[in-house]
Structure 1
Amino acid sequence: MKKILSALLVLAAQQAWAQHATTETLFSSKSGKKTTIGAYGAPAAKFTPIDGKFGLLTGGYGGVLLNGKIMLGAGAYSLVNNVDMPAVNANAQKEYLNLWYTGFVAEYIHNSDKLVHWTAGALIGGGAAGRRNKNWWDGDDHDHTYDNHGFFVAEPYANVELNITKFLRLDVGASYRYVGGSNTTGITDGKLGGPSLNIGLKAGKF
């Protein structure tokens, strides 16, 4: 009888721990009921070389979080600085790259209750690259993009994640952008693709 009671107590304790986990955060650690279905959004920036030049992509991703481990959602990024394009001919005016992409995102979060942990995922989708004859700071609202071509993109990534508060997390990591199918004059798929250093801030219910 004592063995049965002991076993029941152990089982009850395990169930209580499974439902009430302690989430370690930078400013406080709180015990609470584990979220079965949550959600978050993460504005992010990517620092990446494009054709040997510095590129800054901004955007973000987010979606539905299942059991604190698996996120299914979407993401989108676009180039926000001026990256010079190779001249089509000797008399051509200066032109810049126009680049954006979007797609489905899946992410796995390992030991999300720990103060510092890791995540891994991938974006799979498509985008477009074109030539732009005006820079971002001209103050002209008209569209000056042409020679636009779509492409397929796949971007796996891995991050180190810090729990700042129960509802806020900082991600720093790296990704690699695979691009295929672009026919924009003067730039190849290989030049559009490449590694990125990433930083993002997640906000939501974890």
Structure 2
Amino acid sequence: MKTVRVIAVVVLLATVMFGQDNFEQKTLFQKGTVLGGYGGPALSIGKLNGKYAVFTGGAGALVLNHRFIIGGAGYGLVNRIDISQEGTPEDSSRYLNMGYGGLELGYIIAPSQLVHIKVSSLFGVGGMGSHGYIDIWDEDYDENDFDVYQDVFFVLQPTVALELNVAKFCRLDVGATYRYTSGFDYKSLKTGDLDGLELKVAVNFGLF
């Protein structure tokens, strides 16, 4: 009986002691977390399959405490890239269609400085396809011959940029990005042909 009383007293004291403790759970969005966001267009120029390529697209993201970036981005090839095998006649040439997008994570170093560094990486998937030479004025034109191949691929694209605070609501990024791809299969392209170093320029608007 005495033992039961002792246990009861210990439990009561423990309940009182821990009950007086202020419980504060740590979360991603703590009290005092500064939340912002931005979005804007982007342009990149580099080489694809040994030829100059131009990609356009854009990105949007949340910004935590002026530094941490969580968002998404997408880009598409806008100029014509010939992926025909050598010796292919012009009227049977094949040209590349390509686009990709995904999750983008990043970090802004010293964001209060006029010019600072921004690093990020895009993790996502893309699609590529080829189409034949098309002349819609040709009597033999057949729209069924347009798309001749399609496939998907995985993409990883890290970026390092210098960022300029143009205004409180506008920033200009100029940097270098490298696209890694894998998972596609096409007879005239091999692993690495869709990879490449590019010059990237972006303008973002929002609350930073």
Larger Rg, first or second structure (1 or 2): 2
Q: Give the partner amino acid of 1:42.
A: G
- Within 1, Cα distance between the matches of 2:148 and 2:62? 36
SS of 1:114's equivalent in the other structure is coil
The Cα of 1:45 is off from its aligned counterpart by 0.6
- Asked if residue 183 in structure 1 is aligned to residue 194 in structure 2, the reply is no
TM-score, length basis structure 1: 0.76
- Percent identity of equivalent pairs: 35
- Within 1, Cα distance between the matches of 2:182 and 2:76? 17
- Asked if residue 45 in structure 1 is aligned to residue 47 in structure 2, the reply is no
The Cα of 1:128 is off from its aligned counterpart by 1.3
Partner of 2:121: 122
The Cα of 1:35 is off from its aligned counterpart by 7.9
- Within 2, Cα distance between the matches of 1:57 and 1:42? 14
- Within 2, Cα distance between the matches of 1:138 and 1:177? 34
Partner of 1:149: 151
> How do 1:1-206 residues align onto structure 2 when only pairs under 5 Å count?
36-87=34-85, 90=88, 93-134=92-133, 144-206=146-208
Q: Give the partner amino acid of 2:179.
A: R
Q: Alpha carbons of 1:85 and 1:138: their partners in 2 closer, same or farther (altered >3 Å)?
A: farther
The Cα of 1:111 is off from its aligned counterpart by 1.0
The Cα of 1:134 is off from its aligned counterpart by 4.8
TM-score, length basis structure 2: 0.75
Give aligned pairs, total: 171
Please identify runs of 4+ aligned residues in structure 1 that moved more than 4 A: 88-92
**Per-residue CA distance 1:51-71 (angstroms, 9 max, x = gap):** 110000000111111010011
Q: Give the partner amino acid of 2:98.
A: L
The Cα of 1:189 is off from its aligned counterpart by 2.6
| Structure 1, gaps ≥5 residues long | 1-33
Conserved? CA contact 2:92–2:133, under 8 Å: no
Conserved? CA contact 2:117–2:162, under 8 Å: yes
Q: Give the partner amino acid of 1:79.
A: L
SS of 1:183's equivalent in the other structure is coil
Greater strand share, 1 or 2? 1
| Structure 2, gaps ≥5 residues long | 1-31, 138-142
Conserved? CA contact 1:86–1:187, under 8 Å: no
Conserved? CA contact 1:130–1:184, under 8 Å: no
**Cα RMSD (Å):** 2.5
